Chain A
Amino acid sequence: MTPTDRSRRKRVLVLFAHPAFEKSRVNRELTRAVTGLSGVTFHDLYEAYPDFDVDVRREQSQLVEHDVVVLQHPFYWYGTPPLLKQWIDLVLEHGWAYGKTGRALAGKFVFNAISCGGGERAYRPGGHNRFTIRQLLAPIEQTFTLCRTRYLAPFVVYGTHAIGEADLARHARHLASVVEAMRDGHFDFVRAASAEWMNRDLGDVLTGPAADALGEAR
């Protein structure tokens, strides 16, 4: 295992949006997995802006300082909780994030980390929800594509209504591995961009020591 060159490490920003976090079981585990990691900033939007009064300048300067942005949230009516949409509306300004001169986010990586009640089979053509999660996230994918970022497949925890402790713990561990692998450069961003969902097979996207660790865990 070679030590990662610090200067090449990517900085990861987790934008977390949950209007009733205190009642959440799954997201409590997922957030616990990604908080406190070195090189990872955890930003709880509903804690910072309970009145939806998003501080645009602060958010923009924080974005500029990171290379990877994780939008972590429960899947509400096939979309984000309202504060995250508010955040998108206000922070991704024309002339800053998009438009002719808007290049502040160019080259950054963005993906959603989602928990949803339905199972994997519900999210496919012919299933209960008729579309895959990736298809349903098209507006966000296009938003961030227009902002010149590279949008990756979502990290999904399916079937949260019936999930067991062991599965939940595994998902939390996997999310942490993904974030750490991205940070340390042990991650195949090209494959992650084309996957249906990122954690369908982590062996596909993790590389080097991260992949080895995953293999050992299995």
Chain B
Amino acid sequence: MPGDFFFQALIYLTAAVVSVPIAKRAGVGSVLGYLIAGIAIGPFVFGFIGDETEEVMHFAEFGVVMMLFLIGLELEPARVWRMRAPIIGLGGLQVAVTTLAIGGIGLALGCTWQAAIAVGLTLALSSTAIVLQTLKEKGLSSTAGGRSAFAVLLLQDIAVIPILAIFPLLGAAGVDDGSHGHTWVADLPGWGKTCAVLGAIVAIVVAGRFLVEPLFRLIASTGLREVFTATALLLVIATATLMTMVGVSPALGTFLAGVVLARSGYRHQLESDIEPFKGLLLGLFFIAVGASIDFELIASAPGTIFGLMGALIAVKFVILFVLGRVFRLGLDQNILFAVCLAQGGEFAFVLLALADRSGILGTSTSAMLLVVVALTMALAPILLLINEKLIQPHVGTRERGDRDPDAIDEANPVIIAGFGSFGNAAGRLLIANGIQTTVLDNDSDRVDLLRKLGLRVYYGDATRESLLHAAGAEHARLLILALGQEQNRSLLATVRKHYPHLQVLVRAHDRRDAYELIEAGVEHVYRGQFHSSVRLGIDALRMLGFRGHQAHRAAQTFIRHDEASLRELARMRHDQREYINAARQRIRDLEVLLRGNLRERDRSEDAGWDATTLRTEFKLNIPIERGGKLAPRPDEADDGDDNGDDPQSDSPPRGSERST
């Protein structure tokens, strides 16, 4: 019923709109906000939604599929290939060891060996959705712990394929895989299935390489925005369906498709088209997880359920921690890695249902495990929060370096937030010139190194006021913001509020970011790669035959014009602030810029070094010597002594006006 649908939509959207901003403001992240919203509207609190949550969850799982597609888009094949050791080694060991451990416990508790294996495999998986979303929000995706977690999650998603195949074999009743409906390959022998999977992968790679780009070009040429969006969605859904049909996890399939398209020219467009759908569906998914927690069941056996929950988290944590040790993660990164994967995953919902149908597990057992998994998932963001606020400050890389307490109050004049490739160039220049510099960074390996070299380094989330305070922001003069875009913004807000005296120099990530920073009133804005790109342009001009100084001056002029246009356009954009799709706005900005460059191309600069007008004046003065010919083009007449035409041509009768 449509009325029903709208009512449902109203409930879900209201819950999200109310709870997520509150959760964000409280600093606990959006995932927890969604989960709490789900619990609130679920059958056990307000009861707005009930039995249909399972359907909603199946539908919303598509958000996970989209998320993996987007993750794939950001990963080039070469990068995935470089990660093969952690994916296969760390990920494989995690799944194997955890399965054995949990299976062993199951056997000890009196399960059949089939049930023990099924439960072990199911609970070995973690929640891709929750972990990746939370890591991204906290800016931890690129830390050693975050990357290891991603590798393990990727392998788990791959592992789902054989797990789905094994379950029916374990089942006493021999029920077929019902959860994914019938597939094309159900009746094929083992080698046939393998061939089908390989075929599907080849199809995705080939289509991604050769078909998608022309297709998008065709669609883009229609100029119909919504058709492009529809095509992007179709691409994701078609991939997911194809993979499901050959019995592979759709998330894995779309991840693959994303990786294939990572180098496509339409990457950014795809990203901006899929992103909102992914966000909404993931939100829906988290809400559904929250709503599906069966509080009646918990109330009926709280001891057992919380005991299992605690045990599950503990077992996973210990195994992850040991593996992290083996793979040489630093203590704090290892804790992050272990904490963030110590929960059940969304695939458990599918696998438990399948185990139930296949008769591997009793209905009551699978229902109980379902609640345990949902609880651990809900707990995951909280555990990460505890790790961040309570554990990390005390382990391994400390927020504050080990120095004598007296030294802490003597503040350095400069604080650099973010010592990555951008921040460290500026920082090293300052340090090389004897400027005392304090560094804030959240990459523990880097922090340890810098501390070893005697720098004052604070470890942690630079956007926290307390960290700024500890770093001596009160007495510093300059703050260099070289963090990610979001973190720069939030740190900027903190600084404006608590340390208005600090002069800030901000790294802009691209032109858009620069516009927005300028709009926000930041005076000193530096675009990430602008100067090195211009530098490259100088060398290109020289290779094409420009003289060194000519190319250098051309670049100086270009930079001056570009800086001016940056500020002007930032103001113009402010006037016509309408929502335009990010990718399209980028193209529009580029168009404005290029038109400007083409228009101004012939504008003469450095007229003081250009003897054209002098020569004209000179010739008009003594026409006989040059036979009264028209002035030749300056470059033809040039004898290499441009400025040597001494300005001795006193008062010629007629001269040309300089047109500058």
Contacts and interface: CB of A to CB of B under 8 A. Distances in A.
Interface of A: 51, 53, 56, 89-96, 98-101, 146
Contact of A95 (B606, B648, B658): B658
B657 interface: yes
B608 A89 contact: yes
Given A99-B655, A100-B654, A94 B617 contact: yes
Which 10 pairs of residues, A with B, have the shortest CB-CB distance? A95-B658, A100-B655, A90-B608, A53-B556, A89-B608, A94-B614, A93-B608, A93-B607, A98-B647, A94-B613
A92 B608 contact: yes
B657 A101 contact: yes
Contacts of A101: 655, 657-658
B652 to A, nearest CB: 5
B657 to A, nearest CB: 6
A96 B656 CA distance: 11
Given A53-B556, A99-B614, A100-B652, 14 more contacts: A89-B609, A89-B643, A90-B608, A92-B608, A93-B607, A93-B608, A94-B617, A95-B613, A95-B658, A95-B660, A100-B655, A101-B655, A101-B657, A146-B647
A94 B647 contact: yes
B433 interface: no
A56 to B, nearest CB: 7
B658 A94 contact: yes
A188 to B, nearest CB: 29
Nearest to B559: A53
B435 to A, nearest CB: 15
Nearest to B612: A94
Nearest to A98: B647
Contacts of B651: 100
Contact-size category for B: 20 to 34
B560 interface: yes
29 contacts: A51-B556, A53-B556, A56-B607, A89-B609, A90-B607, A90-B608, A91-B608, A93-B607, A93-B658, A94-B607, A94-B608, A94-B614, A94-B647, A94-B658, A95-B613, A95-B655, A95-B658, A95-B660, A99-B614, A99-B649, A100-B617, A100-B651, A100-B652, A100-B654, A100-B655, A101-B655, A101-B657, A101-B658, A146-B647
Nearest to A89: B608
Contacts of B614: 94, 99
A99 B643 contact: no
Contact of B608 (A51, A53, A56): A56
A95 B655 CA distance: 9
Interface of B: 556, 560, 606-609, 611, 613-614, 617, 643, 647-649, 651-652, 654-658, 660
A56 B656 CA distance: 20
A51 B571 CA distance: 28
Contacts of B560: 53
Contact of A90 (B609, B613, B648, B658): B609
A100 B560 CA distance: 31
Residue from the set B560, B647, B651, B654 with the largest chain A CB neighbour count within 10 Å = B647
B655 A90 contact: no
Contacts of A93: 607-608, 658, 660
Nearest to B653: A100
Contacts of A53: 556, 560
Contacts of B617: 94, 99-100
Contacts of B654: 100
A96 B655 contact: no
A100 B649 CA distance: 9
B655 to A, nearest CB: 4
A53 B611 CA distance: 20
A52 to B, nearest CB: 8
Nearest to A100: B655
Contacts of B649: 99
Nearest to A92: B608
B16 to A, nearest CB: 52
Q: Which of A53, A89, A95, A100 neighbours the largest number of chain B CB atoms within 10 Å of its CB?
A: A100
A208 B651 CA distance: 39
Contacts of B611: 94
Contacts of B656: 95
Contacts of B655: 95, 99-101
Contacts of B556: 51, 53
Contacts of A96: 658, 660
A51 B549 CA distance: 12
B498 to A, nearest CB: 33
Q: Which of A92, A95, A101, A146 has the most CB of B within 10 A?
A: A95
A91 B611 CA distance: 14
A100 B608 CA distance: 15
